Amino acid sequence: MRSLSSNLGLAIIVLSLLFFPFRARAQDSATTGTLMGTVRDAARASIPGATIALRNLTTNQTRNVTSEADGSYRATALAVGDYEVKAQASGFAPYLNPKVACAQFSPTPTPQASPSPTPSLERRFFKNILRDQRAIWTSPLHLEKEDAKWLAPLGFSTAALIATDRRTAGALHNDRLRLNISRDVAYLGSAGGASSIAGAFYLIGRATHNARARETGLLGGEALIDGGIVAFVIKHATQRRRPRAKEPGDFFEGGLSFPSGHTTTAWSLATVVANEYRHNRLVQVSAYGLAAAASMARFTGRNHFLSDVLVGSAIGYGIGRYVYRTHHDPSLSGRSTQKTPTKQSKLLPLIAPQYDRCARYYGVTLRWLF
């Protein structure tokens, strides 16, 4: 909350100051420095127009500054020493930090070796794909007992579907309307359709400086290539005939039905998108929902058997999950996408921890609406 609202009654909010690491700046005098910081409320929203009083604990002199539109403040030419920092804003409880040091800036800092910059995802793109492929194809060598929890159900389900594939596929007739609809929906899982979606994420992220969207496009493209390679190899190794072929469903007969490449593509991209936006339930449901629709369209369009779809989905999901967990930038996860709730129970208070290691401030926020 940025101000108290009369229709909400009483709201108790603790004001928090997020100080940047205090560092004295070079001034005309060797005994002065600068204190700066940002004033935020309990919901981490900036508070403009707050009055910050900086009192020198040695001389008892006080300097008053006002926070800018973004909540930031800056006090220059301060005598080196310890200061008491007090912030006040209309509608908020005052905040007091009893001791903040303003140190002298060293004009000749000790030189430090610059760390080597981490290569960008773009530069690591093809190297990551090679590493992914090595990890994927050697993964059977690293299976553990716990993997049986998902391998056993998947294996039994695949075997059951293979045994009934001819019957289930034969139950579908060549209905022109259904085949056309299935073909259009399945385009989402095609190489062109999925690549367009991944490319859109990347280009929009670059244009708008949205790091999450950019990473989604890059990791999505990486997962698509990984999934395409795996599906290509397994298809040519199993050579299963498609549902519309002569003697459908037979393996090692020159077909390319097992697994479904469209399904692998759809689920590899959907899994990356859903993990990148895991705090947005609508995005998750949409991503997995579209992947499921594209997968089933390959069955209803009589392009694949149900077992092809199941195995393709499992491969795509596993590859997308691996790519995200291996190459995701952890710093993006710290950028909260959740908004402050607009509705709060009037029976129970909202309690949240507040801390700032730089300012040595630790406490809790209590908000209770009557």
Cα–Cα dist 328/315, whole Å: 19
Cα–Cα dist 262/182, whole Å: 12
Are residues 329 and 227 part of one domain? yes
Cα–Cα dist 198/221, whole Å: 6
Are residues 229 and 313 part of one domain? yes
Tokens for 206, please give them.
């670059």
Q: Which residues lie across from 33 on neighbouring strands?
A: 78
**pLDDT number for residue 195:** 95
The CATH number that applies at residue 325 is: 1.20.144
Q: Count CB atoms within 10 A of the CB of residue 83.
A: 25
**pLDDT number for residue 229:** 96
Are residues 132 and 67 part of one domain? no
Cα–Cα dist 166/175, whole Å: 18
For residues 271 and 320, the answer to whether their CB atoms sit within 8 Å is: yes
For residues 32 and 80, the answer to whether their CB atoms sit within 8 Å is: yes
Residue 77 host element (H or E): strand 72-79
Does residue 112 lie in a domain region? no
Does residue 230 lie in a domain region? yes
The CATH number that applies at residue 89 is: 2.60.40
Does residue 81 lie in a domain region? yes
Are residues 274 and 259 part of one domain? yes
Q: From residue 363, give the alpha-carbon distance in Å to each of 52, 87, 353.
A: 20, 16, 6
For residues 271 and 321, the answer to whether their CB atoms sit within 8 Å is: yes
Are residues 292 and 196 part of one domain? yes
Are residues 237 and 351 part of one domain? no
Are residues 78 and 37 part of one domain? yes
Does residue 50 lie in a domain region? yes
**pLDDT number for residue 104:** 60
**pLDDT number for residue 366:** 60
Does residue 192 lie in a domain region? yes
Are residues 291 and 320 part of one domain? yes
- Per the structure, the complete domain to which residue 73 belongs is given by 6-106+339-367
B/e letters for 116-130, b = 16+ CB within 10 Å, e = fewer, are: eeeeebeeebeebbe
Are residues 146 and 67 part of one domain? no
B/e letters for 288-299, b = 16+ CB within 10 Å, e = fewer, are: bebbbebbbbbb
Per-residue pLDDT tens listing for the chain (370 residues): 443 333 322 222 223 332 333 333 333 444 677 888 888 877 677 788 889 998 988 888 899 999 888 888 888 888 888 888 888 888 777 888 888 877 665 544 555 544 444 557 888 999 999 999 999 999 888 888 888 888 899 999 999 999 999 999 999 988 999 999 999 999 989 999 999 999 999 999 999 999 999 999 999 999 999 999 999 999 999 999 999 998 899 999 999 999 999 999 999 999 999 999 999 999 999 999 999 999 999 999 999 999 999 999 999 999 999 999 999 988 887 554 444 344 555 555 566 665 555 555 556 566 655 5
Cα–Cα dist 305/249, whole Å: 8
For residues 51 and 94, the answer to whether their CB atoms sit within 8 Å is: no
Please count the structural domains in the chain. 2
Q: From residue 20, give the alpha-carbon distance in Å to each of 85, 157, 239, 343.
A: 14, 56, 62, 32
50: Cβ contacts below 8 Å, ≥ 6 apart? 15, 39, 66, 67, 71, 73, 87, 88, 89, 92
**pLDDT number for residue 232:** 96
Are residues 253 and 361 part of one domain? no
Does residue 115 lie in a domain region? no
C-alpha count within 13 angstroms, C-beta hemisphere, residue 53: 14
Cα 4 to the center of its chain, rounded Å: 33
36: Cβ contacts below 8 Å, ≥ 6 apart? 19, 20, 22, 72, 73, 74, 75
Are residues 301 and 171 part of one domain? yes
Does residue 116 lie in a domain region? no
Does residue 226 lie in a domain region? yes
Are residues 326 and 353 part of one domain? no
